[in-house]
Structure 1
Amino acid sequence: MAYSTYIFDAYGTLFDVHAAVRRHADRIGPDGQLLSELWRAKQLEYSWVRTLMGAYADFWTLTEQALDFALAKVPSADRTLREALLEAYWHLDCYPEVPGVLKALKARGARLAILSNGSQAMLEAAAKSAALDIVLDEIFSVETIRRFKTDPDVYDLVTTEWRLYPDAISFQSSNRWDIAGATKFGFRTVWINRSNQPDEYFDYAPSLILPDLKQLA
């Protein structure tokens, strides 16, 4: 079934969150993958904990704090790369199929948007760097409500702004927890399982599971 509205999570779905570390892999040391995985895990953990506490901090602050933890946890990593890694996060590579898929959906007349935990500045920079800004109709950031996914109000940003019922929206994310939250909210959900992870949250199953975005086009 073709939809007229496609909403995409940003990090891990459109943009490769491990690209920043990979860009400096030759200088980081042998534990670069571990560093990158810890950085991402703590970034997400901090967003969930702060939402539960009602103590919002923007996603860029959490990204910095998560990297500091990862660098402290991985002593083999070169700490002098901190600023270079943070700078690289503003210009993450998108996955190879992303530009073509988004252009094809746009050519069919679909509306396209990002809905992300990222700050508005981070998302706009990443979209511009990957030349996705020319096909996106909107970038929705949680910054406006100061709560992170999977708070239902995050998903409601789209339905309220675009005056749509949730089931009129196809929502794509590589994060299974995000898919669970969006499914509960009422979106039609597509889990982009890029790393072949086992399923979970079985009571909030996605409508479709794909290895990448290609089949959307």
Structure 2
Amino acid sequence: MPITTCIFDAYGTLFDVAAAARRAAAEPDHAALAERWPALAAAWRARQLQYTWLRAITGAHANFGQVTGEALDWALEAQGLAGDAGLRARLMALYRELDAYPEVPAMLEALKRAGKATAILSNGSPDMLTDAVEAAGIGALLDDLLSVESVGVYKPHPSVYDLVGRRFGCDRSEVLFVSSNGWDAGAAAGYGFVSAWVNRAGDPVDRLPWRPAHVLTDLAGIPHLAEMLA
């Protein structure tokens, strides 16, 4: 079946998760981050994902804002920056307005011109997603922001992917699902979506029971891929 619906993960896919630490490090008040922001950003992201998986497995759900803050607390302590309340507050604020990758607006515009439905499907809470989309100026290019909060469990639980069909009334085979997380793209493929992994770092494919059908280095090729699959 042709692709009618293009669904995007948010954090790391449309939005650069390292942007908060990078921007804070450039501010005079946070000079302590100048040398340490890449390590902080990497640790923050790794713990954030790990905490979502652990909460999903154990049934101990908490919203993504809380999980993001807990992961940041761990990362700050690991970098010897625990106790700097001003830095923590600034990083959490910047996380709500992460930079979109440069190709995102043109890519979404091309999909809309082609008549595709577009949406985010994210671990993010609705308020966080709304803030990020508004800061990036891409709200008019998205038909919906789908959050795991409506099912109370994080990806890759199948009930999260169920939200797409429930919202758009489409068959799984009509969905092009795009994520920068290899595990997410793989799980989406196992669910029945046509999945594309945006592998910006050139990482190996995750050793999971399922593999994404397509691998790209950025999002610029998504409109062409969606048309090819028609």
Alignment of 1:68-217 (within 5 A): 68-75=73-80, 79=84, 80-201=86-207, 203-217=209-223
Identity over aligned residues, as a percent?
43
Distance 2:205 2:64 in 1: 27
What letter is aligned with 1:63? Answer: T
Query: What RMSD in Å do the two structures reach over aligned CA positions?
Result: 1.5
Distance 2:2 2:80 in 1: 49
Distance 1:138 1:8 in 2: 11
Q: Which residue of 2 aligns with 1:25?
A: 25
Tell me, yes or no, if structure 1 residue 57 matches structure 2 residue 62.
Answer: yes
What letter is aligned with 1:177? Answer: W
Runs of 4+ in 1 over 3 A off after TM superposition: none
Question: How many corresponding residue pairs?
Answer: 217
* Aligned 8 A contact 2:64 2:125 in 1: yes
TM-score of the superposed pair, with normalisation by structure 1:
0.96
Q: Over residues 113-152 of structure 1, what are the superposed CA-to-partner deviations in whole Å (9 max), with x where a residue is unaligned? A: 0000000000011011101101100110000011000000
* Aligned 8 A contact 1:179 1:206 in 2: yes
Gaps of 5+ in 1: none
What letter is aligned with 1:171? Answer: F
Distance 2:109 2:82 in 1: 39
Q: Which residue of 2 aligns with 1:15?
A: 15
Distance 2:24 2:95 in 1: 12
What letter is aligned with 1:169? Answer: V
* Aligned 8 A contact 1:31 1:77 in 2: no
Distance 2:51 2:208 in 1: 24
Q: Over residues 20-74 of structure 1, what are the superposed CA-to-partner deviations in whole Å (9 max), with x where a residue is unaligned? A: 0000124213111111101001111111101111111000000011100101111
Shift of 1:165: 1.3
Distance 2:48 2:163 in 1: 22
* Aligned 8 A contact 2:109 2:141 in 1: yes
What letter is aligned with 1:146? Answer: G
Distance 1:173 1:29 in 2: 29
Q: Which residue of 1 aligns with 2:227?
A: none
Q: Which residue of 1 aligns with 2:51?
A: 46
* Aligned 8 A contact 2:22 2:37 in 1: yes
* Aligned 8 A contact 1:120 1:139 in 2: yes
* Aligned 8 A contact 2:188 2:195 in 1: yes
What letter is aligned with 2:23? Answer: R
* Aligned 8 A contact 1:60 1:119 in 2: yes
Q: Over residues 51-107 of structure 1, what are the superposed CA-to-partner deviations in whole Å (9 max), with x where a residue is unaligned? A: 111111000000011100101111158833111111000100000000000001101
Distance 1:35 1:77 in 2: 12
**Residue 23 and residue 2 in structure 1: after superposition, are their counterparts in 2 closer, same or farther (change >3 A)?**
farther
Distance 1:166 1:176 in 2: 19
What letter is aligned with 2:169? Answer: R
